[in-house]
Amino acid sequence: MRPVPTAIVGCGKVGHIHARALCGLAEARLAAVCDERGDRGRAFAAQYGAPPFEDPTAMLAQAGVEAVCICTPHPAHRQPAVLAARAGVHVLVEKPMAAKLADCDAMIAAARETNVRLGVVSQRRFYEPVMRLKAAIDAGKLGTPVLGTVVMLSWRDEAYYRSDPWRGRWDTEGGGVLVNQAPHHLDLLRWFMGPIQQIYGACANLNHPYIEVEDTALAMVRFRSGALGSILTSLSQRPGIYTKLHVHGSNGASVGVETDTGATFVAGMTGPLDPPLNDLWTVPGEEALLSGFQAEDRSRFRAMDATFHYHALQIQDFLRAIREDREPLVTAADGRAVVEMFAGIYRSSQTGQPVDFPL
């Protein structure tokens, strides 16, 4: 397969993860990098051996790229994504897809105009215990999913919010834990449970007085299937406890995954210290498999650099989707659904009323 010449827009912390992944993939060639801060872009370009640009329009016109990874802060995803799509360039957007549904819709419309692929990063879908859980659901081993739960008990300190000027502010981050840390798990919950019918939520800032946005959010979910769900996502537990998703089936069986132990890692600053593991498995006849799953995943984790490995798997899937003319595993519709979820929780928290979907 001919490598896809790919650019990165946004040379910050997560941009380095994309660059490392692209440089290690046979499917990719890092063809250009772009950052409005010229000094940062030039240093980034020198590190990874690609020409630097400050203007995405110039890059799209001159660099001969076929795909672009958008790694800017999420409220700034729309402009470069739309420019790239209208130039006929395939677009992979970091999570969350945007801070507003209107931005998602603008990106989707631009991609449809030129028939390019548009995907959204949700690399935890590629975790082996997550894939194992999804396969069990798809195989009917739980009957049908009737209850899904997300519990994130994590932590962010003041230094984290001071590390970038856009963090912790409504106008530059678009929200708090729901927008920045929770999108992975909102995506997984919906992937496991299906489309949403109604959300009732509440948000608060419990112990981060130096930021504007929420550090904690809760929601009750009713899915279109009739299944129920709950979401508890928080950055208020020092030093971080765990993040888990559990799915319970109509036949009484339950499966689960602990995606993060302690605080969730910070892209470009820290990496996962412990492997993601299935922590619950009561599928009839498979109860004894759990210890083997965990041993397999611990062994695999020790042999890899998990900081960028799963990003690489998702980028590889996206580039193969381009060449194979298919949808990537995580589509634009999936990314938009996550934005709709947190927008619904914010709206419900503001009104004190449940919110029906679609918004």
Examine the pLDDT at 284 and tell me if it is beyond 80: yes
Q: What is the mean pLDDT of residues 293-309?
A: 95
Give the tens place of pLDDT for each residue, 197-218: 999 999 999 999 999 999 999 9
Structural domains of the chain in order of their starting residue, each with its CATH number: 4-120 (3.40.50.720), 127-304+337-351 (3.30.360.10)
| CA gap 314, 301 in Å, rounded | 17
| CA gap 344, 288 in Å, rounded | 40
Examine the pLDDT at 88 and tell me if it is beyond 80: yes
Q: If we measure between CA atoms, which residue out of 35, 21, 90 comes closest to residue 323?
A: 90
pLDDT above 70 covers a percentage of the chain that reads 100
Give the tens place of pLDDT for each residue, 27-61: 999 999 999 999 999 999 999 999 999 999 999 99
Helix/strand/coil for 191: helix
| CA gap 43, 264 in Å, rounded | 28
Both tokens of 248, joined, read 């319970």
- Count of C-beta atoms within a 10 Å radius of residue 140: 11
Give the tens place of pLDDT for each residue, 153-210: 999 999 999 999 999 999 999 999 999 999 999 999 999 999 999 999 999 999 999 9
| CA gap 264, 262 in Å, rounded | 6
Contact 111, 54 (CB under 8 A): no
Which residue type does 32 have? A
Please tell me the pTM assigned to this model.
0.97
Q: What angle do CA 77, 83, 84 make, to 5 degrees?
A: 90
Confidence of residue 266 (pLDDT cuts 50, 70, 90): confident
Examine the pLDDT at 269 and tell me if it is beyond 80: no
